Amino acid sequence: MKTLALILTLAATPLLAQGVPGQHFVENWDLNGDGAVSLEEATERRGDVFTSFDQNEDGALDAEEYVVFDEARALDMQNEGAGHGGGNMQNAAEGMELAMNDVDGDGKVTREEFISQAAVWIANMDLNEDGVITTEDFAMRRQMMGGQGKGKAKN
| Footprint of Ca ion (CB under 5 A) | 30, 32, 34, 36, 41, 102, 104, 106, 126, 128, 130, 137
Facing residues of 60 across strands? Answer: 110
- Between 34 and 71, CB nearer to Ca ion: 34
In angstroms, the Cα distances linking 81 to 19, 64, 89, 98 are 9, 27, 9, 23
CB of 103 to Ca ion, least distance (A): 6
CB of 137 to Ca ion, least distance (A): 4
* Nearest one of 60, 68, 56, 63 to 111, comparing CA atoms: 60
CB of 29 to Ca ion, least distance (A): 8
- Between 68 and 75, CB nearer to Ca ion: 68
CB of 88 to Ca ion, least distance (A): 10
CA angle 143, 148, 151 (to 5 degrees): 165
- Rg for the chain, CA atoms, rounded: 16
- Between 75 and 130, CB nearer to Ca ion: 130
